Structure formats: structure tokens, C-alpha cells
Structure 1
């Protein structure tokens, strides 16, 4: 399967490229800067230079699936959060749907669309993520919206807890990436939105129980 990863140079994005390659997929990493291309190549992926805020149709063309793992980052202001986390995601969703590609996996956030569940610093971010998720739900794409808890860089266990709503928790980025990849081929994960933290259930089994 040819899979395009938006935000491929980020911490979770790099893991997605690595694991996609290990699973036998053709991984394409969407990056904004020329100097980021070598990182994607070193991970076994093919870099694609594009900006989420402009035309991304040429980057999406020919893919079998698209994964959105981009983010504005914690050091940017509210405007950049709107531009990347909401508008950039919607731009990519539109390009995916326009080209007839069906599979789309969204990296969202626990409490997305429910800013009251976050602290003051997170409220705007959660609102923007929720609006992007809501747009994806209006499409006919076979989408999965993955909303992880606090991300860590610990070694993954491939054991998770998935529910419509969880009461907080953390999860290694490695397990988030593996869950997103597993969702590509698990029909039971299509048209589903779920929160994700570390747990006791193998990823594939957890997705089948959604």
C-alpha cells in the first residue's frame, strides 16, 4: 500500500515512516523543507516536498491511503494552530477525497472538540483539532480518528486501551504510530473516533472491539 504521511518529520511521523516500511508498505513522507528530505530517506521512505497550506493534490495523487500526523508545535501561537492543525488538515482531507482515495487516518488528541476537558493553554488547540475532526466526519472517506493521551518517548508495548472517552493517561508514540497503521487495514476502525492510552489489549484486538 502506498501511504502518504503528513508531518513525517515530526516525532510520531518519523515512527510512522519507519513502521510502514517495516510492514511492507511504500511510505511517502510529506515535508516542508528541502533539508528534511534526507531524514525521510534514511528511514526508508520517499520524501514529498509540499506545504499543507497550499496545493497538496500532487502529493496525494497515486496514494492508497493518507495519514495526518502534522502539528503546529507547542511553541507556536493560536494563529499557527489554526493554519496547520485545522486548516492544513482540512486541506489534505479535501485533496484526498477529490482524488478518490478512501483511507484517511487522523492523528488527533484526547479531548479534541471538548476544550473544557483541557487546561487553559490547551483549549484553543483542542477546539481546532475538534473542528478538523468534525470536517473529516462529514466526508465519505474510510476515516479513523485516533485521539491519544499524553505522548511519551518510552518503548512501545503494542498494548493499548481504546474507548470513546478515557479518563486521561499516557501512551508511547510508538504505540500510537502502530495503532494508526493497524487502522488502515481494520475495517472495524473505519468511520470511528476513539481515544487511546496504554492498556492491556493488543492493538489489533483493541481495534476489532471498537
Structure 2
């Protein structure tokens, strides 16, 4: 595939490896590939990954090729992506990767994106929030450190052109049973809940990074989810908690929840597995759910289908009366939907990484381990500390590039 707006390169597996002997650090040092993360038709299917060169996107590509898929990887910088994906293919059993150079935000690349989606079985949207119009300027960065400036920062203007162009192309040229698995973030609905619900669930609302909502990213992602839900395509939306790499939080058992009350850490490889399941398993269709990695437990050998089958569809949750953070004018705490949320909360509140099971006491940039050691002194509901403001100023590029709130943050 080649055009003025698209260049592609086919990467072949460098060596073979049996899936039963593949390992990942995590549970007792090893992680076998689960049997039922995806459907059995991988060898003849292609899956498109938008944002394939990102930290999570590249993990999605890696796991897909291990399962024998042909992956069309949409990236902005093809040369840089090829270096990364060459390493991915070196460990692949089968499958292949076709690099598609295209900027999702540019109309000139629309034909390249359309060509990538031609005949695709599914797609994973792992693009950063720049593709949704979030580009913080100097004032926005400064406001992270100086609260007095926050009122001067204009509300971000979400731009869903890239997303809708992608969805339009998929509806037109992808397979009839095409599904989109969308990566967003835990906490996207919490600030949109009715104020009474926010008070009831303050243990997940009053977390510093959630209250800060940098650059309005939670609001924009919530709106982007609703675009997908109303577009008339098959979808599943995955909301991981704080994203971590193997060195800080090893892969283990992915745990799924609903109600947007899950707090903790998620290994990026596990997030990739869940996104692939969301794109391919019938049990995930039409569902929005959160996920975290629980270390010390092995992944289910049957994959994610049994857990996903227990989740409610978005339509079921609406019918149950759950406040989904879309501006509800009333909050019925006695509804079946809110009872469902409370049940999820009971389980989720016991799964925080630290001994101190209270994420609201964290300062931004501090860990649960530091909280357990008494190195954090923050009461729930207090204003940002000087240290938090200093971190936001001096670490702005580290913490907010790309500006996704669950990136390298405790949630």
C-alpha cells in the first residue's frame, strides 16, 4: 500500500514460538497465553490498531501477532514505529504487521485510513487524546501548578473529527460484523455524576488526579465514548485504571468491573489482552467496563469470556436506572442500577494495591506504598498541596505527555 498520504511496510515473524511455552513475568514469574482471549479465526483476519506506536498500542500489536493476526498499525511516524515493531515481530509465533503512515487528525490521510480498514474484522482505538482535540497550551500547563490560573484556561474544545472519520470508514469498508474496541480511562464519568452520587461515592471521586481533571481530559473521553455508542456499530469500551509497565506492576490477572468505581493499577500487557478480547469476543459486545491487574493471581486459563459474560450491556445499565455520568438531573439511590454500582464498589474497594485502602489520601505523584509508609500526609477533600503544585509544574512533560490522566498516575 502506498500513496502520498500512506506508506506501508510488511513485517514478517523472525522466529517461531509455541504459545503454550510463552511466558510473561507476573504470577510466580510466568504467564502462559490464555486460550480464549480471542476467537479462533485469527489466521484469516485483520485487525486495525489506531495509535499503534503508543505505549499501550504497541502492546496490542504484540499480543495480536502472537495470536496469528494480520495487524494494520496506524502510526504518525512510520520509521520510528518500524523500529519498535521490528522488535515485536522478533518474538512472534505468526501473524504480520503492515505499518500505515497516517495522522488520524488530518483529512489528507483519510484515504489511507480507509484503505487500512478495508475488510477489517475489528479495530482497537488506542490513539492518544490529541486525536480528540486535547492539545494543552502554555497557559494550561502553567495552571497545573498555579490553581489561580485555572479559571483563565478555556474549556477544551473536543474535536471528534478523527474519530468520526474512522468510524465512517469502518462502516463503509470493514466487514459487516466489524467491532471497535475503544481505550479510554477509568474515572471518565465520576465528575459527570449527580452531586448526590458524587457525595455517596466520594472515595472514588475525591482522588487528586480525578478532581484536577487535567485539560478536561475526562470530560472529552466521556463524550468520545458517547460518540461511539451512538454511531450504529458494534463496540466495546475498556477503561483501565492507572497504567503501569512490567517493571513497576507486573502482568497477572485482569479483573473487570462496572460502575466506574474501580481504582488501582493496570499492566499495559493486560490492558492489551482485554482490548483484544473486547474487539473479538461476543461476550464483550455493547459493554463498557473498567479493568485492573491483580498481582499474585494467575490469569484465567479460559480467558476473559467467562468474566465478560457476567457484565451488563450499556442498554441494560440504562434500563436499570444507573446514573452514567451524562448529566442526570435526578439520582435514585434505590434503583437497580445504583445497587449494581454499590455491589461493584464493595468488591473494588478491597482491591487497592496498598494496605491503606483510601486513594483520596494520595498526593499526586505519590504511590500507595509511600502512603503505607507514612510519607504522604493528605486528608480527603483538601486543596492541592504545594508539593502537588510543584510536581505539576516541574513534571508537566513527564506527567502529561500525552495528557491522559491514568498515565503513570495512582488512581
SS of residue in 2 equivalent to 1:104 = strand
User: Hey, what does 1:208 align to over in structure 2?
Assistant: 309
User: Hey, what does 2:245 align to over in structure 1?
Assistant: 153
Tell me, yes or no, if the aligned pair for 2:262 and 2:291 is still in contact at 8 Å. no
User: Hey, what does 1:197 align to over in structure 2?
Assistant: 292
User: Hey, what does 2:261 align to over in structure 1?
Assistant: 166
Give the Cα–Cα distance (whole angstroms) in 1 for the partners of residues 254 and 172 of structure 2. Answer: 35
How far the C-alpha of 1:62 sits from its partner, in A, is 2.5
For residues 72-128 of structure 1, the C-alpha deviation after alignment (integer angstroms, 9 at most, x for no partner) is 47x941799845xx4433332222123244211000111224445422243611111
Tell me, yes or no, if the aligned pair for 1:151 and 1:171 is still in contact at 8 Å. yes
Give the Cα–Cα distance (whole angstroms) in 2 for the partners of residues 147 and 3 of structure 1. Answer: 20
Aligned CA-pair RMSD: 2.5
Residues 80 and 21 (structure 1), Cα distance of their counterparts in 2 relative to 1, 3 Å cut:
farther
The structure whose residues are more often strand, as a share, is: 1
How far the C-alpha of 1:163 sits from its partner, in A, is 2.0
Alignment of 1:144 with 2:236, yes or no, is: yes
Tell me, yes or no, if the aligned pair for 2:256 and 2:308 is still in contact at 8 Å. no
Give the Cα–Cα distance (whole angstroms) in 2 for the partners of residues 104 and 48 of structure 1. Answer: 18
For residues 40-94 of structure 1, the C-alpha deviation after alignment (integer angstroms, 9 at most, x for no partner) is 3442322111111121212222311111001047x941799845xx443333222
Alignment of 1:105 with 2:181, yes or no, is: yes
Alignment of 1:59 with 2:135, yes or no, is: no
User: Hey, what does 1:90 align to over in structure 2?
Assistant: 164
Tell me, yes or no, if the aligned pair for 2:256 and 2:289 is still in contact at 8 Å. no
User: Hey, what does 1:70 align to over in structure 2?
Assistant: 127
SS of residue in 1 equivalent to 2:269 = helix
Tell me, yes or no, if the aligned pair for 1:113 and 1:129 is still in contact at 8 Å. no
Q: Which moved more, 1:41-50 or 1:190-199?
A: 41-50
Return 5+ residue gaps in structure 1 as ranges.
none
Aligned length: 207
Residues 90 and 129 (structure 1), Cα distance of their counterparts in 2 relative to 1, 3 Å cut:
farther
Give the Cα–Cα distance (whole angstroms) in 1 for the partners of residues 99 and 230 of structure 2. Answer: 30
How far the C-alpha of 1:197 sits from its partner, in A, is 1.5
User: Hey, what does 2:218 align to over in structure 1?
Assistant: 126
Q: Please give the TM-score of this superposition, normalised by the length of structure 2.
A: 0.46
How far the C-alpha of 1:149 sits from its partner, in A, is 0.6
Give the Cα–Cα distance (whole angstroms) in 2 for the partners of residues 59 and 115 of structure 1. Answer: 36
Tell me, yes or no, if the aligned pair for 2:240 and 2:292 is still in contact at 8 Å. yes
Q: Equivalent of 1:35, from 79, 88, 101?
A: 79
User: Hey, what does 2:6 align to over in structure 1?
Assistant: none
Q: Which moved more, 1:59-68 or 1:19-28?
A: 59-68
Give the Cα–Cα distance (whole angstroms) in 1 for the partners of residues 185 and 157 of structure 2. Answer: 13
How far the C-alpha of 1:36 sits from its partner, in A, is 2.5
Give the Cα–Cα distance (whole angstroms) in 2 for the partners of residues 123 and 113 of structure 1. Answer: 15
Tell me, yes or no, if the aligned pair for 1:72 and 1:81 is still in contact at 8 Å. no
Q: Please give the TM-score of this superposition, normalised by the length of structure 1.
A: 0.87
Alignment of 1:46 with 2:98, yes or no, is: yes
Residues 196 and 159 (structure 1), Cα distance of their counterparts in 2 relative to 1, 3 Å cut:
closer
SS of residue in 1 equivalent to 2:56 = helix
Residues 129 and 174 (structure 1), Cα distance of their counterparts in 2 relative to 1, 3 Å cut:
same
SS of residue in 1 equivalent to 2:212 = coil
